[in-house]
Amino acid sequence: MLSPVGKIFLALAVAATAFLFLHPLVLRYRIIQAGHRENRSDRPGRRTVQALGKVLLQRCTLKNERPLTGLMHVCIFYGALTFDTLTVNHTIEGFFSQFSLLGHGRFRMFFSALADIFAVLVLAGVAFFIVRRFIVRPKAYRTTPLDSALIYAFLILVTASYLYYEAFAIVEHGGARGSAFLGNALADSVLAAGFSPGAITAHYQAGWWIHLLLVFAFIAYVPHSKYLHMFAGSLNMFVRKPGSSREIPTLDLEGAEVFGLEKAADFGWKDNLDAFACMECGRCQDVCPAFRTDKPLSPKMILFDMEKNLLAERDAVIARNRDAQKPLVPGVHAEDEIWSCTTCGACQHVCPVEIEHIRKIVGMRQSLVLMESKFPAPLNGFFRNLETNANPWGIGFSERGRWADGLNVPTLAEHPKAEYFFWVGCAGSYDDEGRKTAQAFARLLSAAGVDFAILGPEEKCCGDSARRLGNEYLFQTLAAEAIETLARYKVLRILTVCPHGYNTFKNEYPRLSGRLPSLSPEAKDHFPKIEVRHHSEFLAGLISSGRLKPERSPGLKVAFHDPCYLGRHNGLVEAPRAVLRAATGAPPLELCENREHSLCCGAGGGLMWTEEILGTRVNHLRAGQVLSSGATDVATSCPFCLTMLRDGLRDKGRADIGVRDIAQILARSLGLES
């Protein structure tokens, strides 16, 4: 097809495109590689299959938060794959006119029809996004408008230039037209216009060059745009770590010189990859309870600002020169941003490319707390109370077991061979409403004949809030004491009513136990053997086995609020509903955001112990959803949620709506309430 001069020009265009594409890509790769080491390549076969399934089947974008947007993205994605294949084919044909990746028979005819179909779908998808981004203008889309405009322009021009080329190619070659319905229609228009043979040939050749050069220009632009997520996002899905939202990486408090994330040099390579993988779709921002209540935090902007900073400090990052880098807080991120996060995990749950937001935010909190002793003023008392009395209220150890007075609940010291150990938690031990939950659960266990015991005065805080507030030293201190105590009593089964304690015991202590040098060998060996169960799943099991037979209470309109650390982080959404169905005789009312999509109550991430002074209170937003459901009662399975929902409804003048733990509702149906 091409003359020798044309082939030389094409070769130069290919080389220039490769350079313009690879040079910024190599720069970003070097930035990613500069991050701290972290193994994300275990089980490579499984990782590959899962990543390909998410990418090629577009399961990453076809999530139910934005179904129509996801569908339009699918159209553009498969259209891009189709046109990329054609570009490779056209480039090869430019050098070897008789060679074709697509062959010269039926498959090529089929592919020509497929290209026309995706030409229509791509244009429809681009039109949808243009309207949405530049006319509807939701908050999620209000970044990099020029980048978006250039991407849309490239997509339109690449598609239009292909159709232009295709129409004149059909006329130029004549004969069988294949299945290109758009190309055939446009070819008929060309014939009807009466172009001369010379003009047709000129347009055919011009169309070929225009389309190819536009594609090459688009390829060269990709590394500089959010379209880079096609590559970085795909890799991110390969190195994903399921359940990363429920775990905080453990700090080496004895060997490290820097604690947490103080500067860009402190990020891991996965963190840096996250920054370049971000699609800027804003799904994380849409579901973030902090952003939705007018707090300064946007999970999207955390990644957006992080990427800008990595590129701005690229030389220092690649050279691992910490001294030449500015502090992340307040140099890149504001303190109010970092302290607004509830660690609810909604951002990570909806992210199409598996970005891990929470560990970055908590990492910056760790730096502020451990390196600078900077944190919100209300946390002074909280940390002090944990340090002195191992509970947020600072109440003495002697009060730990008072909630069980009159219930004949033994301690492990009295009954060391108990089958189950009930970790009551701080709220169950000291908070008035939390005590009611602990009492109800204890009565249910006794009624079912469960052999259990508690620690009583020996129990201390599990440390969840301390860890998520950045005080890793305090967390590890509390964790080491708890792990040693449970190992000493040879506990094998833990029951807890608190999802935060449940998550800590189930997901964090087992990984931590092998890394704390202060632990005895016996404790390190014992804790990973312990089975941990939340009271919702344990109660559901007691009901299904017939050990508890509740009398149903029809007529109650109970709505259920899913705690983040139970439903979204740990996937326990059916068990509490099963308990409520058994207790009330009907499924609970579903709030507008439920199960793994539940809206946070506002207490997670340690924010239970701070003052919410910015924007609207998160629990007010959730209380409004409760009121909209028409429920007369609200059930939950977390002591923090219990407090936040009750306060939110009271603030809205609806203290008449009862807020209870599922254990209280079940105990009432069995006539076990005091």
C-alpha to C-alpha distance for 197 and 300, rounded to whole angstroms: 55
Buried b (16+ CB within 10 A) or exposed e, 100-109: eebeeeeeeb
Please tell me the predicted confidence (pLDDT) of residue 532.
97
559 contacts 588 by C-beta, under 8 angstroms: yes
With 0.85 as the threshold, say if the pTM is over it.
yes
Q: Encoding tokens for residue 44?
A: 């490579």
Look at the block and give the residue holding tokens 């939110």. Answer: 648
Helices 145-173 and 197-221: crossing angle, nearest 10°?
Answer: 150
pLDDT, averaged across the chain: 92
- Dump pLDDT digits (tens) for 526-535: 988 999 999 9
Tell me the CA distances in angstroms from 547 to 407, 447, 583, 670, one per residue in order: 19, 8, 14, 12
Q: Which two tokens stand for residue 246?
A: 């429920």
Per-residue pLDDT tens digits for 3-43 = 889 889 999 999 999 999 999 999 999 999 999 999 888 88
Please state whether 515 falls in left (phi above 0), alpha (psi between -120 and 50) or beta. alpha
Amino acid at 233: G
Q: What mean pLDDT is predicted for residues 458-478? A: 96
Architecture of the 253-372 domain: Orthogonal Bundle (1.10)
Q: What pLDDT does 57 receive?
A: 83
> Taking a C-beta distance cutoff of 8 angstroms, is the pair 346, 288 a contact?
yes
* Helix (H) or strand (E) segment spanning residue 169: helix 145-173
Q: State the average pLDDT over residues 215-236.
A: 93
CB neighbour list of residue 636: distance below 8 Å, 6 or more residues apart: 560, 561, 562, 563, 642, 645, 659, 661, 662
* Matching fold, domains 387-538 and 543-669: yes
Residue 51 has pLDDT above 90, yes or no: no
3-class DSSP state for residue 302? helix
Neighbours of 4 (CB within 10 A): 7
Is residue 380 over pLDDT 90? yes
Q: What's the token pair of residue 447? A: 């009624």
Percent of the chain whose predicted confidence (pLDDT) is above 90 = 75
pLDDT value for 7: 87
Domain 387-538 has CATH 3.30.310: no
Give the tens place of pLDDT for each residue, 348-368.
Answer: 999 999 999 999 999 999 999
| Boundaries of every domain in the chain | 4-30+43-238, 253-372, 387-538, 543-669
Instruction: Find the length of the chain.
Output: 674
- The values of phi and psi at residue 496, to 5°, are -140, 145
Q: What is the DSSP letter of 239?
A: S
Q: Is the peptide bond before 330 cis (omega within 30 degrees of 0)?
A: yes
pLDDT, tens digit, 9 for 90 and up, residues 276-285 = 999 999 999 9
Mean local confidence (pLDDT), 599-626: 95
What confidence score (pLDDT) does residue 169 get?
87
* Owner of token pair 């629990």: 619
Decide if pLDDT at 293 tops 60: yes
What separation in angstroms does the CA of 590 have from each of 5, 51, 558, 598, 627? 69, 33, 9, 10, 12
CA distance 293 to 306: 23
Q: Which CB contacts under 8 angstroms, 24+ apart, belong to 146-149?
A: 147/225, 147/226, 148/226
Q: Topology of 543-669 in CATH?
A: Rossmann fold (3.40.50)
Does the pLDDT at position 673 exceed 80? no
CA distance 190 to 200: 8
DSSP string, 73-117: HHHHHHHHHHHHHHHHHHHHHHH-TT--TT-SSHHHHHHHHHHHH
Distance of CA 461 to the CA centre of its chain: 27
Residue type for 77, please? F
Do the beta carbons of residue 260 and residue 365 sit within 8 Å?
Answer: yes
d(CA 165, CA 1): 14
Neighbours of 130 (CB within 10 A): 16
Predicted confidence at residue 618, as pLDDT, reads 97
Domain 4-30+43-238: assigned CATH number: 1.20.950
Helix axes 269-277, 299-312, angle to 10 degrees: 110
